[in-house]
Amino acid sequence: MSMVVRVKQKQIAQLIAKGKRLDGRGLRDYREIKVEQGIIEKAEGSARVLLGKTEVMAGVKIETGEPFPDTPNEGVLTVNAELVPLASPTFEPGPPDENSIELARVVDRGIRESKAIDVEKLCISPGKKVFVIFVDIYVLNHDGNLIDASALAALAALLNTKMFTYEIEEDEVKIKPGYTSLPLRKHPIAVTLAKINDNLVVDPWLEEEQIMDARITITVDDDGNICALQKGGSGYFTPKQVFEAVQIAREKADELRKKLGW
Amino acid sequence: MSQKPEKLIDKKGLRLDGRKPDELRPIKIEVGALSNADGSAYIEQGKNKILAAVYGPKEVHPKHMALPDRMVLRCRYHMAPFSVQERKSPAPSRREIELSKVIREAVEPAIFMEYYPRTAIDVFVEVLQADGSTRCASITAASLALADAGIPMRDLVAACSAGKVDDTIVLDLMDTEDKVGSADVPVAFMPNLGVITLLQMDGILTPEEFEKTVNLAIEGCRKIYALQKEALRSKYISVKEVEE
């Protein structure tokens, strides 16, 4: 924890106890969200999401590969996250650390478990050849709540993804001119709440993240069902706080979905 | 992988291994299973066989990792190559790295971290055989190993999973139920304090089902908590008998 934040810790917590936040938001408010799609021409799909000052880009690449032996009829989804060093003084170059792996896996779980992608439509030849969808999350500026920003960026990039049309000739994929969109069935939205002195706040920014006891991320599908959940941080939640967080997350997810038109 | 079973719950409402929906698998716990570690525990939960060992408090290496006001807790969850059907590469997978993190965050709230500034405690978890819900059994064993090492703790952490298979909410998922079932919710709980320290979910649940599942998992944690206390007690009772 940086020295500045340690000094502000009491102030942040006291404000939150009064229902206010240092950046002027209410406890249940998201920062301003901006979504831009199709920003990388060479990627099959791409998007940039701004969540306040947090900036995350996601790119989708599609290749052909082998299916997993236990799901021979299904395409493969791979989500990876890079906390690139230019995004924060605390990020260092090198292989992905536990934070970037957790980030990628939480985003992955939301897309996978909600069955957002119709993976059976990505099968070319059962047991032999399928499409592999790579979603690469690139954090460009870290100002807190990377999970929600990354989940939005990943989904925005998938919605923007153009699949090349193809023909199968003797198990070989032949690319034809023209594109179709990726078969997306659901729009999972991740909502993260931080617990600060027994108060729950939505969309914690960096300074709140540094002083929070724990966080909880709830991914909600279009029907209001929960499709992924992850507690993080070294603190705890009471069961009551968990159920309250789920309720808040469902309302916020609904609100975001309407705002973004997904 | 072997063939997927058609049904996970039979006409009598029993599961593949004959358990009722709210029944735990047989659990065997041994505290102090390793002589070199400062604290250790071994757990068998169904076919799961897991060892946890604690080393520390000790000097922090590298030194710049040390914290002036609290200790550093490190955790490694690792699966043996022979622990699963198809050999698992011994190199840490992304899953193992994530689980190491969530297990650390599940036991950390129990420890008085500020009692040992500038030191480190290492928790090593080795899964020797895996059969579903290993992260929960790992937490159960790790918190016992910490207690066995004499680390001051607020409470033991007991962990148990619950989930949904064939439209039924069930306790303590085994491997097949985890893979074929429609949702899996691992929970770690400190029964004396009534707080949740690990909570994850994958699958699809309505909010009502989710609440029911979490509450069932907490009930499972309470049962495991009783077994944990029993296991801790029996180690020290047997020591006493040797002395006499």
- Residue A170 clears pLDDT 80, i.e. is over it: no
Residue B18 exposed, middle or buried by CB count within 10 Å (0-12, 13-18, 19+): exposed
- Reading the block at residue A221, the tokens are 């599908």
pLDDT recorded at residue B104: 98
pLDDT recorded at residue B139: 98
Q: In terms of residue numbers, what domain contains A239?
A: 25-260
> Tens of pLDDT along B18-55?
999 999 999 999 999 999 999 999 999 999 999 999 99
> Tens of pLDDT along B81-127?
999 999 999 999 999 999 999 999 999 999 999 999 999 999 999 99
> Tens of pLDDT along B210-221?
999 999 999 999
Q: If residue B138 lies in a helix (H) or strand (E), which one and from where to where?
A: helix B134-148
Q: Is residue A6 part of a domain?
A: no
DSSP letters of A165-195?
A: EEEEETTEEEEEEEEEE--B----EEEEEEE
Percent of chain B past pLDDT 70, that is, above it, reads 96
Rounded to whole angstroms, how far apart are CA atoms B73 and B92? 19
Query: The domain B27-235: what is its CATH number?
Result: 3.30.230.70
Q: Do residue A228 and residue B197 have CB atoms under 8 angstroms apart?
A: no
> Tens of pLDDT along A235-257?
999 999 999 999 999 999 999 99
A165 band by pLDDT with thresholds 50, 70 and 90 = confident
Q: What is the rounded average pLDDT of the residues B220-226?
A: 98
Q: Is residue A184 part of a domain?
A: yes
Contacts of B206 in chain A (CB under 8 A): 224-226
Q: What's the one-letter identity of residue A210?
A: Q
Q: Do residue B193 and residue A236 have CB atoms under 8 angstroms apart?
A: yes
pLDDT recorded at residue A14: 93
CA distance B57 to chain A (A): 19
- Residue B2 clears pLDDT 70, i.e. is over it: no
Q: What is the rounded average pLDDT of the residues B195-222?
A: 97
Q: What angle do CA A225, A226, A231 make, to 5 degrees?
A: 165
- DSSP 8-state class, residue A96: -
Rounded to whole angstroms, how far apart are CA atoms A242 and A215? 10
The residue ranking higher by pLDDT, A165 or A13, is A13
φ, ψ dihedrals at A34, nearest 5°: -125, 135
CB-nearest to B98 from A105, A113, A236 is A105
CB-nearest to B196 from A70, A98, A239 is A239
B3 band by pLDDT with thresholds 50, 70 and 90 = low
Q: What is the rounded average pLDDT of the residues A192-215?
A: 96
pLDDT recorded at residue B244: 60
Q: Which residues contact A218 (CB under 8 A, 6 or more apart)?
A: A190, A191, A192, A193, A226, A228, A229, A245, A246, A249, A250
pLDDT recorded at residue A108: 98
Contact B141, B126 (CB under 8 A): no
Alpha carbon distances (Å) from A110 to A221, A230, B140, B176 = 8, 10, 27, 21
Q: What angle do CA A127, A132, A133 make, to 5 degrees?
A: 150
Q: What is the rounded average pLDDT of the residues B222-241?
A: 90
- Residue A6 clears pLDDT 80, i.e. is over it: no
pLDDT recorded at residue A5: 75
Quote the number of domains for chain A: 1
Q: What is the rounded average pLDDT of the residues A145-153?
A: 98
**Complex ipTM, two decimals?**
0.92
> Tens of pLDDT along A60-117?
999 999 999 989 999 999 999 999 999 999 999 999 999 999 999 999 999 999 999 9
Give the HSE-up count for residue B166: Cα atoms under 13 Å, Cβ half-sphere: 15
Contacts of B215 in chain A (CB under 8 A): 239
- Residue B138 clears pLDDT 80, i.e. is over it: yes
Q: What is the rounded average pLDDT of the residues A120-134?
A: 92
Q: What is the average pLDDT score of chain A?
A: 94
Q: What's the one-letter identity of residue A19?
A: G
Contact A176, A165 (CB under 8 A): yes
> Tens of pLDDT along B49-78?
999 999 999 999 999 999 999 999 999 999
Q: What is the rounded average pLDDT of the residues B149-171?
A: 97
Q: Identify which of A49, A254, A54, A255 has the alpha carbon closest to the alpha carbon of residue A157.
A: A49
If one counts every other C-beta atom within 10 angstroms of the C-beta of residue B61, the result is 9
CA distance B205 to chain A (A): 5
Longest Cα–Cα distance of chain B, Å, equals 60
B95 has a chain A CB within 8 A of its CB: yes
Rounded to whole angstroms, how far apart are CA atoms B180 and B174? 10
Rounded to whole angstroms, how far apart are CA atoms B135 and B100? 9
Is the backbone of residue B196 left (phi > 0), alpha (psi -120 to 50) or beta?
A: beta
Q: What's the one-letter identity of residue A91?
A: F
Q: Which residues contact B46 (CB under 8 A, 6 or more apart)?
A: B17, B25, B26, B131, B132, B172, B174
Rounded to whole angstroms, how far apart are CA atoms B188 and B123? 17
- Residue B1 clears pLDDT 50, i.e. is over it: no
Q: Do residue B194 and residue A239 have CB atoms under 8 angstroms apart?
A: yes
Q: Identify which of A188, A249, A192, A239 has the alpha carbon closest to the alpha carbon of residue A215.
A: A192
Contact B191, B220 (CB under 8 A): no
CB-nearest to A235 from B109, B202, B203 is B109
Rounded to whole angstroms, how far apart are CA atoms A74 and B237? 55
Q: If residue B185 lies in a helix (H) or strand (E), which one and from where to where?
A: strand B183-190
b/e code B190-223 from CB counts within 10 Å (16+ = b): bbeeebbbbbbbbbbbebebbeebbebbbbbbeb
- Reading the block at residue A188, the tokens are 């999972």
pLDDT recorded at residue A167: 81
- Residue A4 clears pLDDT 90, i.e. is over it: no
Inter-chain Cβ pairs, chain A and chain B, closer than 8 A: 96
Question: Domain with A199 in it: what CATH number?
Answer: 3.30.230.70
B237 band by pLDDT with thresholds 50, 70 and 90 = confident
pLDDT recorded at residue B240: 66
If one counts every other C-beta atom within 10 angstroms of the C-beta of residue A257, the result is 16
Longest Cα–Cα distance of chain A, Å, equals 68
Q: Where are the domains of chain B?
A: 27-235
Q: Is residue A14 part of a domain?
A: no
Residue B89 exposed, middle or buried by CB count within 10 Å (0-12, 13-18, 19+): exposed
Alpha carbon distances (Å) from A43 to A37, A47, A62, A117, B152 = 11, 10, 9, 18, 53
